Structure 1
Protein backbone atom coordinates (compact mmCIF):
# COMPACT_ATOMS: atom_id res chain seq x y z
CA UNK A 1 0.00 0.00 0.00
CA UNK A 2 3.13 2.20 -0.13
CA UNK A 3 2.46 5.68 -1.52
CA UNK A 4 -1.29 5.14 -1.76
CA UNK A 5 -3.24 7.74 0.21
CA UNK A 6 -6.85 6.84 -0.58
CA UNK A 7 -8.98 4.04 -1.92
CA UNK A 8 -12.47 4.88 -3.16
CA UNK A 9 -14.78 1.96 -2.43
CA UNK A 10 -17.96 3.29 -3.95
CA UNK A 11 -19.56 6.52 -5.13
CA UNK A 12 -22.87 7.37 -6.75
CA UNK A 13 -25.67 9.88 -7.16
CA UNK A 14 -28.98 9.09 -5.52
CA UNK A 15 -32.50 10.46 -5.24
CA UNK A 16 -34.41 10.54 -1.97
CA UNK A 17 -37.79 8.93 -2.63
CA UNK A 18 -40.56 9.40 -0.12
CA UNK A 19 -40.03 7.40 3.10
CA UNK A 20 -36.50 6.41 1.99
CA UNK A 21 -34.11 6.00 4.96
CA UNK A 22 -30.55 4.94 5.76
CA UNK A 23 -30.59 3.09 9.06
CA UNK A 24 -28.25 4.32 11.74
CA UNK A 25 -24.96 2.43 11.31
CA UNK A 26 -21.16 2.65 11.55
CA UNK A 27 -18.29 1.03 9.64
CA UNK A 28 -14.51 1.00 9.20
CA UNK A 29 -14.31 3.45 6.28
CA UNK A 30 -15.16 7.12 5.66
CA UNK A 31 -18.61 8.01 4.39
CA UNK A 32 -19.25 11.35 2.67
CA UNK A 33 -22.62 12.86 1.69
CA UNK A 34 -23.13 16.00 -0.39
CA UNK A 35 -26.70 17.24 -0.62
CA UNK A 36 -27.22 18.48 -4.19
CA UNK A 37 -30.83 19.61 -3.72
CA UNK A 38 -33.54 19.53 -1.10
CA UNK A 39 -33.32 19.08 2.69
CA UNK A 40 -32.61 15.92 4.68
CA UNK A 41 -32.43 14.98 8.34
CA UNK A 42 -29.24 13.09 9.19
CA UNK A 43 -28.41 11.26 12.39
CA UNK A 44 -24.94 11.88 13.84
CA UNK A 45 -24.23 9.52 16.74
CA UNK A 46 -27.99 9.34 17.22
CA UNK A 47 -28.51 13.11 17.22
CA UNK A 48 -30.62 14.66 14.43
CA UNK A 49 -29.14 17.29 12.13
CA UNK A 50 -31.14 19.09 9.46
CA UNK A 51 -28.98 19.39 6.34
CA UNK A 52 -29.77 21.77 3.51
CA UNK A 53 -28.86 21.94 -0.15
CA UNK A 54 -25.06 22.20 -0.71
CA UNK A 55 -24.26 20.93 2.79
CA UNK A 56 -21.54 18.30 3.00
CA UNK A 57 -21.29 15.73 5.81
CA UNK A 58 -18.26 13.54 6.45
CA UNK A 59 -18.38 10.58 8.83
CA UNK A 60 -15.04 9.06 9.92
CA UNK A 61 -14.78 5.33 10.72
CA UNK A 62 -16.87 4.05 13.64
CA UNK A 63 -19.05 7.19 13.81
CA UNK A 64 -22.71 6.15 13.70
CA UNK A 65 -24.83 7.96 11.12
CA UNK A 66 -27.99 7.62 9.06
CA UNK A 67 -30.74 9.48 7.20
CA UNK A 68 -34.32 9.64 8.50
CA UNK A 69 -37.51 9.79 6.44
CA UNK A 70 -37.73 13.51 7.16
CA UNK A 71 -36.38 14.79 3.86
CA UNK A 72 -37.49 16.56 0.72
CA UNK A 73 -39.08 14.09 -1.69
CA UNK A 74 -36.84 13.45 -4.71
CA UNK A 75 -34.00 15.48 -3.26
CA UNK A 76 -30.60 14.50 -4.69
CA UNK A 77 -27.28 13.71 -3.08
CA UNK A 78 -23.80 12.49 -3.95
CA UNK A 79 -22.51 9.72 -1.73
CA UNK A 80 -18.96 8.39 -1.43
CA UNK A 81 -17.26 5.68 0.66
CA UNK A 82 -13.47 5.54 0.90
CA UNK A 83 -10.48 4.41 2.94
CA UNK A 84 -7.74 6.84 4.04
CA UNK A 85 -4.17 5.54 4.41
CA UNK A 86 -2.54 8.93 5.01
CA UNK A 87 -1.65 9.21 8.71
CA UNK A 88 -1.83 13.00 8.83
CA UNK A 89 -5.37 13.04 7.42
CA UNK A 90 -6.58 10.29 9.75
CA UNK A 91 -5.04 12.06 12.76
CA UNK A 92 -6.89 15.29 11.88
CA UNK A 93 -10.25 13.72 10.98
CA UNK A 94 -10.72 11.54 14.05
CA UNK A 95 -13.63 13.61 15.40
CA UNK A 96 -17.35 12.83 15.27
CA UNK A 97 -19.29 13.58 12.11
CA UNK A 98 -18.09 16.76 10.37
CA UNK A 99 -20.72 19.11 8.94
CA UNK A 100 -19.61 21.52 6.22
CA UNK A 101 -22.23 24.19 5.50
CA UNK A 102 -22.47 25.61 1.99
CA UNK A 103 -18.86 26.26 0.95
CA UNK A 104 -17.67 27.15 -2.55
CA UNK A 105 -14.38 25.23 -2.31
CA UNK A 106 -16.09 22.08 -1.04
CA UNK A 107 -18.67 22.32 -3.83
CA UNK A 108 -15.93 22.67 -6.47
CA UNK A 109 -14.06 19.63 -5.14
CA UNK A 110 -17.23 17.53 -5.02
CA UNK A 111 -18.15 18.58 -8.57
CA UNK A 112 -14.70 17.56 -9.84
CA UNK A 113 -14.77 14.26 -7.94
CA UNK A 114 -18.22 13.34 -9.21
CA UNK A 115 -17.43 14.26 -12.85
CA UNK A 116 -14.26 12.18 -12.86
CA UNK A 117 -15.94 9.31 -11.06
CA UNK A 118 -18.59 9.08 -13.79
CA UNK A 119 -15.90 8.22 -16.36
CA UNK A 120 -13.54 6.24 -14.11
CA UNK A 121 -10.71 5.89 -16.61
CA UNK A 122 -7.15 5.50 -15.37
CA UNK A 123 -6.49 9.25 -15.38
CA UNK A 124 -9.91 10.04 -13.92
CA UNK A 125 -9.28 7.71 -10.95
CA UNK A 126 -6.03 9.56 -10.28
CA UNK A 127 -7.92 12.84 -10.54
CA UNK A 128 -10.49 11.65 -8.01
CA UNK A 129 -7.70 10.89 -5.53
CA UNK A 130 -6.13 14.32 -6.09
CA UNK A 131 -9.40 16.22 -5.61
CA UNK A 132 -10.25 14.08 -2.58
CA UNK A 133 -6.83 14.92 -1.15
CA UNK A 134 -7.48 18.64 -1.61
CA UNK A 135 -10.93 18.35 -0.05
CA UNK A 136 -9.77 16.44 3.04
CA UNK A 137 -6.78 18.72 3.62
CA UNK A 138 -9.12 21.69 3.41
CA UNK A 139 -11.54 20.09 5.87
CA UNK A 140 -8.69 19.26 8.26
CA UNK A 141 -7.30 22.80 8.27
CA UNK A 142 -10.49 24.87 8.10
CA UNK A 143 -13.39 22.95 9.59
CA UNK A 144 -11.99 20.60 12.25
CA UNK A 145 -11.74 22.23 15.71
CA UNK A 146 -8.19 22.34 17.07
CA UNK A 147 -6.23 24.05 19.82
CA UNK A 148 -4.26 25.95 17.17
CA UNK A 149 -1.63 23.20 17.37
CA UNK A 150 -0.38 22.11 13.96
CA UNK A 151 2.43 19.88 12.93
CA UNK A 152 5.63 21.79 12.37
CA UNK A 153 6.94 22.46 8.88
CA UNK A 154 10.31 21.14 10.02
CA UNK A 155 9.64 18.16 12.31
CA UNK A 156 6.88 15.69 13.07
CA UNK A 157 5.39 16.54 16.46
CA UNK A 158 2.78 13.84 17.12
CA UNK A 159 5.14 12.12 19.58
CA UNK A 160 5.39 15.25 21.76
CA UNK A 161 2.93 16.47 24.39
CA UNK A 162 0.61 19.42 23.86
CA UNK A 163 2.79 22.01 25.61
CA UNK A 164 5.85 21.04 23.58
CA UNK A 165 3.89 21.15 20.34
CA UNK A 166 2.60 24.62 21.20
CA UNK A 167 6.13 25.87 21.90
CA UNK A 168 7.35 24.43 18.59
CA UNK A 169 4.46 26.09 16.76
CA UNK A 170 5.15 29.41 18.49
CA UNK A 171 8.83 29.34 17.49
CA UNK A 172 8.01 28.27 13.92
CA UNK A 173 5.74 31.29 13.54
CA UNK A 174 7.86 33.88 15.36
CA UNK A 175 11.52 32.93 14.83
CA UNK A 176 12.23 36.15 12.88
CA UNK A 177 11.28 38.22 15.92
CA UNK A 178 13.17 38.75 19.16
CA UNK A 179 12.26 35.76 21.36
CA UNK A 180 13.26 35.04 24.95
CA UNK A 181 12.35 32.24 27.33
CA UNK A 182 10.54 34.78 29.51
CA UNK A 183 8.42 35.83 26.53
CA UNK A 184 7.50 32.22 25.75
CA UNK A 185 6.63 31.53 29.38
CA UNK A 186 4.45 34.64 29.57
CA UNK A 187 2.72 33.76 26.29
CA UNK A 188 1.69 30.32 27.57
CA UNK A 189 1.13 31.23 31.21
CA UNK A 190 3.61 28.72 32.64
CA UNK A 191 6.72 28.98 34.78
CA UNK A 192 9.86 29.30 32.61
CA UNK A 193 11.72 26.48 34.36
CA UNK A 194 8.72 24.17 33.99
CA UNK A 195 8.46 24.84 30.24
CA UNK A 196 12.19 24.25 29.75
CA UNK A 197 12.07 20.97 31.67
CA UNK A 198 9.02 19.69 29.77
CA UNK A 199 10.47 20.61 26.38
CA UNK A 200 13.87 19.04 27.13
CA UNK A 201 12.25 15.88 28.48
CA UNK A 202 10.05 15.54 25.36
CA UNK A 203 12.58 16.39 22.67
CA UNK A 204 16.04 15.82 24.13
CA UNK A 205 17.09 19.42 23.30
CA UNK A 206 16.45 22.81 24.87
CA UNK A 207 13.97 25.42 23.67
CA UNK A 208 16.87 27.70 22.75
CA UNK A 209 18.45 24.91 20.70
CA UNK A 210 15.26 24.44 18.70
CA UNK A 211 15.02 28.21 18.10
CA UNK A 212 18.63 28.15 16.88
CA UNK A 213 17.83 25.21 14.59
CA UNK A 214 14.88 26.95 12.93
CA UNK A 215 16.81 30.18 12.38
CA UNK A 216 19.91 28.44 10.97
CA UNK A 217 17.80 26.04 8.89
CA UNK A 218 15.92 28.97 7.34
CA UNK A 219 19.14 30.93 6.89
CA UNK A 220 20.57 28.00 4.88
CA UNK A 221 17.46 27.96 2.71
CA UNK A 222 17.74 31.70 2.16
CA UNK A 223 21.42 31.43 1.20
CA UNK A 224 20.72 28.57 -1.22
CA UNK A 225 17.63 29.92 -2.93
CA UNK A 226 17.88 33.70 -2.62
CA UNK A 227 21.60 34.44 -2.83
CA UNK A 228 21.30 37.07 -0.09
CA UNK A 229 24.50 38.07 1.68
CA UNK A 230 25.16 36.38 5.01
CA UNK A 231 24.98 39.55 7.13
CA UNK A 232 21.58 40.49 5.73
CA UNK A 233 20.39 36.91 6.14
CA UNK A 234 21.38 37.03 9.81
CA UNK A 235 19.27 40.13 10.44
CA UNK A 236 16.35 38.68 8.49
CA UNK A 237 16.39 35.52 10.63
CA UNK A 238 16.18 37.41 13.91
CA UNK A 239 19.84 37.46 14.94
CA UNK A 240 20.86 40.61 16.80
CA UNK A 241 24.57 39.82 16.55
CA UNK A 242 25.97 39.01 13.09
CA UNK A 243 29.23 37.55 14.43
CA UNK A 244 27.24 35.18 16.62
CA UNK A 245 25.22 34.11 13.58
CA UNK A 246 28.42 33.22 11.68
CA UNK A 247 29.76 31.17 14.60
CA UNK A 248 26.48 29.37 15.20
CA UNK A 249 25.97 28.59 11.49
CA UNK A 250 29.41 26.98 11.27
CA UNK A 251 28.77 25.03 14.48
CA UNK A 252 25.41 23.65 13.34
CA UNK A 253 26.01 23.23 9.58
CA UNK A 254 29.75 22.55 9.58
CA UNK A 255 30.83 25.37 7.25
CA UNK A 256 30.54 29.16 7.27
CA UNK A 257 27.54 30.91 5.71
CA UNK A 258 29.70 32.25 2.89
CA UNK A 259 31.18 28.80 2.15
CA UNK A 260 27.70 27.32 2.16
CA UNK A 261 26.41 29.91 -0.30
CA UNK A 262 29.47 29.46 -2.56
CA UNK A 263 28.96 25.69 -2.57
CA UNK A 264 25.21 25.37 -2.71
CA UNK A 265 23.69 28.55 -4.15
CA UNK A 266 21.24 27.19 -6.72
CA UNK A 267 21.63 30.04 -9.20
CA UNK A 268 25.36 29.27 -9.66
CA UNK A 269 25.12 25.74 -11.01
CA UNK A 270 22.05 23.99 -12.43
CA UNK A 271 23.12 20.64 -11.00
CA UNK A 272 22.82 22.05 -7.48
CA UNK A 273 19.18 22.86 -8.15
CA UNK A 274 18.70 19.29 -9.32
CA UNK A 275 20.42 18.03 -6.17
CA UNK A 276 18.00 19.88 -3.91
CA UNK A 277 15.11 18.69 -6.05
CA UNK A 278 16.26 15.09 -5.52
CA UNK A 279 16.98 15.17 -1.76
CA UNK A 280 15.64 18.41 -0.39
CA UNK A 281 16.00 19.04 3.32
CA UNK A 282 14.13 22.27 2.74
CA UNK A 283 10.97 20.35 1.82
CA UNK A 284 11.39 17.39 4.15
CA UNK A 285 9.73 17.06 7.54
CA UNK A 286 12.13 15.21 9.86
CA UNK A 287 10.98 12.52 12.32
CA UNK A 288 12.15 14.46 15.37
CA UNK A 289 14.18 17.49 16.39
CA UNK A 290 17.18 15.18 16.83
CA UNK A 291 16.83 13.97 13.24
CA UNK A 292 16.42 17.57 12.09
CA UNK A 293 19.67 18.67 13.76
CA UNK A 294 21.53 15.75 12.19
CA UNK A 295 20.10 16.55 8.74
CA UNK A 296 21.18 20.17 9.09
CA UNK A 297 24.73 19.05 9.84
CA UNK A 298 24.76 16.78 6.78
CA UNK A 299 23.55 19.69 4.68
CA UNK A 300 26.93 21.36 5.00
CA UNK A 301 28.96 18.35 3.88
CA UNK A 302 31.17 19.93 1.22
CA UNK A 303 32.34 16.51 0.05
CA UNK A 304 28.88 15.29 -0.95
CA UNK A 305 28.34 14.50 -4.61
CA UNK A 306 25.88 16.89 -6.22
CA UNK A 307 26.34 15.94 -9.87
CA UNK A 308 23.10 14.48 -11.16
CA UNK A 309 23.47 12.20 -14.17
Structure 2
Protein backbone atom coordinates (compact mmCIF):
# COMPACT_ATOMS: atom_id res chain seq x y z
CA UNK A 1 0.00 0.00 0.00
CA UNK A 2 2.83 2.38 0.94
CA UNK A 3 4.49 1.67 -2.40
CA UNK A 4 1.29 2.62 -4.27
CA UNK A 5 1.05 5.91 -2.34
CA UNK A 6 4.66 6.76 -3.17
CA UNK A 7 4.12 5.96 -6.86
CA UNK A 8 0.96 8.09 -6.89
CA UNK A 9 2.76 11.06 -5.33
CA UNK A 10 5.66 10.77 -7.79
CA UNK A 11 3.23 10.70 -10.72
CA UNK A 12 1.45 13.80 -9.41
CA UNK A 13 4.74 15.69 -9.03
CA UNK A 14 5.81 14.81 -12.59
CA UNK A 15 2.41 15.88 -13.96
CA UNK A 16 2.60 19.23 -12.17
CA UNK A 17 6.15 19.80 -13.42
CA UNK A 18 5.13 19.21 -17.04
CA UNK A 19 2.13 21.47 -16.63
CA UNK A 20 4.30 24.21 -15.13
CA UNK A 21 6.79 24.01 -17.98
CA UNK A 22 4.00 24.68 -20.44
CA UNK A 23 3.61 28.22 -19.07
CA UNK A 24 7.23 29.29 -18.91
CA UNK A 25 7.32 30.74 -22.42
CA UNK A 26 4.62 33.36 -21.88
CA UNK A 27 5.62 36.89 -22.71
CA UNK A 28 3.95 40.18 -23.37
CA UNK A 29 2.85 39.73 -26.94
CA UNK A 30 2.55 35.96 -27.19
CA UNK A 31 -1.05 36.23 -25.98
CA UNK A 32 -1.54 39.44 -27.90
CA UNK A 33 -2.07 37.35 -31.03
CA UNK A 34 -5.36 36.11 -29.56
CA UNK A 35 -6.75 39.63 -29.40
CA UNK A 36 -9.98 40.40 -31.22
CA UNK A 37 -10.74 43.98 -32.33
CA UNK A 38 -13.53 44.31 -29.77
CA UNK A 39 -11.46 43.03 -26.84
CA UNK A 40 -11.00 45.71 -24.19
CA UNK A 41 -7.61 46.99 -23.06
CA UNK A 42 -8.56 46.02 -19.50
CA UNK A 43 -8.99 42.36 -20.48
CA UNK A 44 -5.72 42.42 -22.39
CA UNK A 45 -3.90 43.79 -19.38
CA UNK A 46 -5.17 40.93 -17.23
CA UNK A 47 -3.90 38.33 -19.70
CA UNK A 48 -0.44 39.75 -20.35
CA UNK A 49 2.75 39.80 -18.33
CA UNK A 50 5.79 42.07 -18.32
CA UNK A 51 9.09 42.32 -16.55
CA UNK A 52 10.35 45.64 -17.85
CA UNK A 53 12.32 46.58 -14.74
CA UNK A 54 14.72 43.65 -15.12
CA UNK A 55 15.37 44.40 -18.79
CA UNK A 56 15.45 48.21 -18.98
CA UNK A 57 19.19 48.39 -18.46
CA UNK A 58 19.72 46.40 -21.67
CA UNK A 59 18.02 48.85 -24.04
CA UNK A 60 18.63 47.82 -27.62
CA UNK A 61 20.08 50.25 -30.14
CA UNK A 62 17.89 50.74 -33.21
CA UNK A 63 20.76 50.25 -35.68
CA UNK A 64 18.61 51.99 -38.30
CA UNK A 65 19.13 55.12 -40.36
CA UNK A 66 16.62 57.94 -40.13
CA UNK A 67 15.02 59.07 -43.38
CA UNK A 68 14.12 62.60 -44.45
CA UNK A 69 10.42 61.80 -43.93
CA UNK A 70 8.62 63.31 -40.95
CA UNK A 71 4.99 63.12 -39.88
CA UNK A 72 2.84 65.13 -37.51
CA UNK A 73 0.43 63.40 -35.13
CA UNK A 74 -2.06 65.65 -33.37
CA UNK A 75 -4.93 65.35 -30.91
CA UNK A 76 -7.03 68.17 -29.39
CA UNK A 77 -4.69 70.93 -30.59
CA UNK A 78 -1.63 69.15 -29.19
CA UNK A 79 0.86 67.80 -31.69
CA UNK A 80 4.06 65.81 -31.90
CA UNK A 81 6.50 65.38 -34.77
CA UNK A 82 8.07 62.02 -35.61
CA UNK A 83 11.03 61.43 -37.89
CA UNK A 84 10.67 58.10 -39.68
CA UNK A 85 13.34 55.46 -40.16
CA UNK A 86 14.54 54.64 -43.66
CA UNK A 87 12.49 51.43 -43.94
CA UNK A 88 9.81 50.06 -46.27
CA UNK A 89 7.36 49.84 -43.36
CA UNK A 90 7.78 53.51 -42.42
CA UNK A 91 7.51 54.54 -46.08
CA UNK A 92 4.30 52.51 -46.43
CA UNK A 93 2.78 54.28 -43.44
CA UNK A 94 3.81 57.65 -44.89
CA UNK A 95 2.13 56.85 -48.22
CA UNK A 96 -1.21 56.25 -46.46
CA UNK A 97 -1.35 59.71 -44.87
CA UNK A 98 -3.34 61.75 -44.07
CA UNK A 99 -5.38 59.59 -41.68
CA UNK A 100 -7.80 60.20 -38.83
CA UNK A 101 -7.87 57.21 -36.48
CA UNK A 102 -9.24 56.24 -33.08
CA UNK A 103 -6.72 55.32 -30.39
CA UNK A 104 -6.79 52.48 -27.88
CA UNK A 105 -4.73 52.41 -24.72
CA UNK A 106 -2.49 49.42 -24.02
CA UNK A 107 -1.03 48.78 -20.57
CA UNK A 108 -0.95 52.48 -19.70
CA UNK A 109 2.15 52.85 -21.85
CA UNK A 110 1.07 53.14 -25.48
CA UNK A 111 -1.63 54.48 -27.79
CA UNK A 112 -2.56 52.04 -30.56
CA UNK A 113 -4.31 52.77 -33.85
CA UNK A 114 -4.87 50.79 -37.02
CA UNK A 115 -3.77 52.05 -40.47
CA UNK A 116 -5.92 50.88 -43.41
CA UNK A 117 -3.10 48.78 -44.89
CA UNK A 118 -0.56 46.53 -43.18
CA UNK A 119 3.13 47.45 -43.11
CA UNK A 120 5.96 45.28 -44.53
CA UNK A 121 8.24 44.96 -41.50
CA UNK A 122 11.52 43.02 -41.43
CA UNK A 123 13.72 41.54 -38.72
CA UNK A 124 16.04 44.56 -38.93
CA UNK A 125 13.42 46.78 -37.29
CA UNK A 126 12.53 44.33 -34.50
CA UNK A 127 13.12 45.19 -30.86
CA UNK A 128 11.85 44.38 -27.37
CA UNK A 129 12.93 47.25 -25.13
CA UNK A 130 11.00 50.41 -25.98
CA UNK A 131 11.56 53.99 -24.84
CA UNK A 132 9.05 56.81 -24.49
CA UNK A 133 8.62 58.62 -27.79
CA UNK A 134 9.06 55.67 -30.15
CA UNK A 135 6.60 55.07 -33.00
CA UNK A 136 6.31 51.36 -33.72
CA UNK A 137 4.28 48.59 -35.34
CA UNK A 138 3.04 45.25 -33.97
CA UNK A 139 2.61 42.93 -36.96
CA UNK A 140 0.29 40.24 -35.47
CA UNK A 141 -2.39 42.85 -34.70
CA UNK A 142 -1.58 45.30 -37.48
CA UNK A 143 -1.49 48.26 -35.09
CA UNK A 144 0.81 51.26 -35.07
CA UNK A 145 1.51 52.52 -31.57
CA UNK A 146 3.11 55.45 -29.78
CA UNK A 147 4.99 54.79 -26.55
CA UNK A 148 4.30 57.49 -23.98
CA UNK A 149 6.10 55.44 -21.31
CA UNK A 150 9.08 53.08 -21.44
CA UNK A 151 7.86 49.57 -22.29
CA UNK A 152 9.35 46.09 -22.46
CA UNK A 153 7.82 43.35 -24.63
CA UNK A 154 8.82 39.72 -24.72
CA UNK A 155 7.62 39.46 -28.32
CA UNK A 156 8.90 41.52 -31.24
CA UNK A 157 7.81 45.09 -31.94
CA UNK A 158 9.09 46.94 -35.02
CA UNK A 159 10.42 50.50 -35.10
CA UNK A 160 8.94 53.09 -37.45
CA UNK A 161 10.30 56.38 -36.09
CA UNK A 162 11.11 58.59 -33.11
CA UNK A 163 9.48 61.68 -31.64
CA UNK A 164 11.59 64.79 -32.25
CA UNK A 165 9.23 67.33 -30.67
CA UNK A 166 6.07 67.27 -28.57
CA UNK A 167 7.03 64.25 -26.46
CA UNK A 168 5.42 65.91 -23.45
CA UNK A 169 1.99 65.71 -25.16
CA UNK A 170 2.01 62.00 -26.04
CA UNK A 171 0.27 60.81 -22.88
CA UNK A 172 -2.77 62.97 -23.71
CA UNK A 173 -3.38 61.44 -27.18
CA UNK A 174 -6.61 59.80 -26.04
CA UNK A 175 -9.58 59.48 -28.42
CA UNK A 176 -8.81 60.44 -32.02
CA UNK A 177 -5.50 61.32 -33.66
CA UNK A 178 -4.75 62.93 -37.01
CA UNK A 179 -1.66 61.77 -38.90
CA UNK A 180 -0.26 64.08 -41.58
CA UNK A 181 2.84 64.32 -43.73
CA UNK A 182 5.15 67.08 -42.57
CA UNK A 183 6.28 68.79 -45.74
CA UNK A 184 9.67 70.47 -45.48
CA UNK A 185 10.07 74.13 -46.38
CA UNK A 186 13.11 75.37 -48.28
CA UNK A 187 14.50 76.63 -44.96
CA UNK A 188 13.97 73.23 -43.33
CA UNK A 189 15.67 71.48 -46.24
CA UNK A 190 18.70 73.79 -46.00
CA UNK A 191 18.82 73.22 -42.24
CA UNK A 192 18.74 69.47 -42.77
CA UNK A 193 21.52 69.69 -45.37
CA UNK A 194 23.80 71.73 -43.12
CA UNK A 195 22.66 70.22 -39.82
CA UNK A 196 21.45 72.12 -36.76
CA UNK A 197 24.23 74.40 -35.61
CA UNK A 198 24.70 76.57 -32.53
CA UNK A 199 27.39 79.24 -32.46
CA UNK A 200 28.94 81.67 -29.99
CA UNK A 201 31.39 84.54 -30.47
CA UNK A 202 34.18 84.78 -27.89
CA UNK A 203 36.22 87.93 -28.47
CA UNK A 204 36.95 87.60 -32.20
CA UNK A 205 36.68 83.82 -32.30
CA UNK A 206 33.59 81.87 -33.37
CA UNK A 207 32.84 78.48 -31.82
CA UNK A 208 30.33 76.32 -33.72
CA UNK A 209 28.60 73.18 -32.44
CA UNK A 210 26.66 70.76 -34.64
CA UNK A 211 23.70 69.34 -32.75
CA UNK A 212 22.47 65.77 -33.05
CA UNK A 213 18.89 64.69 -33.81
CA UNK A 214 17.91 64.02 -30.19
CA UNK A 215 14.91 65.51 -28.41
CA UNK A 216 17.23 67.37 -26.02
CA UNK A 217 19.21 68.95 -28.86
CA UNK A 218 15.97 69.90 -30.61
CA UNK A 219 14.75 71.51 -27.39
CA UNK A 220 17.97 73.50 -27.03
CA UNK A 221 17.96 74.55 -30.69
CA UNK A 222 14.37 75.75 -30.40
CA UNK A 223 15.37 78.21 -27.66
CA UNK A 224 18.00 80.01 -29.76
CA UNK A 225 19.03 82.78 -29.68
CA UNK A 226 19.54 83.26 -25.94
CA UNK A 227 21.89 85.07 -23.58
CA UNK A 228 23.42 83.14 -20.69
CA UNK A 229 26.31 83.27 -18.25
CA UNK A 230 29.16 80.83 -18.88
CA UNK A 231 31.25 79.67 -15.94
CA UNK A 232 34.00 77.16 -15.16
CA UNK A 233 33.39 73.78 -13.59
CA UNK A 234 36.17 71.40 -12.63
CA UNK A 235 39.19 71.46 -14.94
CA UNK A 236 37.62 70.09 -18.09
CA UNK A 237 34.37 71.93 -18.83
CA UNK A 238 32.52 75.21 -19.25
CA UNK A 239 28.86 75.27 -18.27
CA UNK A 240 25.74 77.38 -18.73
CA UNK A 241 22.05 77.09 -17.95
CA UNK A 242 19.64 77.38 -20.91
CA UNK A 243 16.45 79.40 -20.39
CA UNK A 244 14.39 76.19 -20.15
CA UNK A 245 15.17 72.59 -19.21
CA UNK A 246 15.66 70.07 -22.02
CA UNK A 247 13.52 67.01 -22.86
CA UNK A 248 15.82 63.98 -22.63
CA UNK A 249 13.66 61.21 -24.11
CA UNK A 250 15.28 59.58 -27.16
CA UNK A 251 18.56 61.28 -26.27
CA UNK A 252 21.77 59.23 -26.14
CA UNK A 253 23.90 59.16 -23.01
CA UNK A 254 27.18 60.97 -23.54
CA UNK A 255 30.64 59.50 -23.77
CA UNK A 256 32.20 62.94 -23.61
CA UNK A 257 35.36 63.70 -25.52
CA UNK A 258 37.16 66.95 -26.25
CA UNK A 259 34.58 69.20 -27.93
CA UNK A 260 31.48 67.29 -26.81
CA UNK A 261 28.39 69.36 -26.02
CA UNK A 262 26.26 67.67 -23.36
CA UNK A 263 23.36 68.20 -20.97
CA UNK A 264 23.55 67.22 -17.30
CA UNK A 265 19.90 66.61 -16.49
CA UNK A 266 20.15 66.50 -12.66
CA UNK A 267 21.42 70.10 -12.61
CA UNK A 268 19.86 71.34 -15.84
CA UNK A 269 23.13 72.74 -17.22
CA UNK A 270 24.69 72.45 -20.68
CA UNK A 271 28.35 71.42 -20.66
CA UNK A 272 31.09 72.25 -23.17
CA UNK A 273 33.97 69.82 -22.67
CA UNK A 274 37.49 70.90 -23.59
CA UNK A 275 39.07 67.67 -22.32
CA UNK A 276 38.09 64.02 -22.57
CA UNK A 277 35.66 63.12 -19.79
CA UNK A 278 33.76 59.89 -20.47
CA UNK A 279 30.27 59.04 -19.25
CA UNK A 280 28.25 59.85 -16.14
CA UNK A 281 24.74 59.05 -14.98
CA UNK A 282 22.33 61.71 -16.28
CA UNK A 283 24.78 63.16 -18.82
CA UNK A 284 23.22 63.30 -22.31
CA UNK A 285 24.94 64.08 -25.60
CA UNK A 286 23.74 67.12 -27.58
CA UNK A 287 26.39 67.41 -30.27
CA UNK A 288 30.02 68.11 -31.08
CA UNK A 289 32.12 71.17 -31.83
CA UNK A 290 32.96 71.48 -35.54
CA UNK A 291 34.81 74.78 -35.51
CA UNK A 292 36.74 76.79 -32.92
CA UNK A 293 36.97 73.99 -30.38
CA UNK A 294 40.45 75.11 -29.37
CA UNK A 295 38.93 78.28 -27.86
CA UNK A 296 36.50 76.59 -25.44
CA UNK A 297 39.03 76.27 -22.61
CA UNK A 298 39.90 79.98 -22.76
CA UNK A 299 36.30 81.30 -22.61
CA UNK A 300 36.33 83.84 -19.74
CA UNK A 301 33.54 83.77 -17.20
CA UNK A 302 30.83 86.15 -18.37
CA UNK A 303 27.63 86.66 -20.35
CA UNK A 304 27.41 85.46 -23.95
CA UNK A 305 24.86 85.08 -26.73
CA UNK A 306 24.27 81.75 -28.47
CA UNK A 307 22.72 81.88 -31.95
CA UNK A 308 21.78 79.58 -34.84
TM-score, normalising length from structure 1?
0.26
**Which is helix-richer, 1 or 2?**
1
Question: Which of the pair is proportionally richer in strand?
Answer: 2
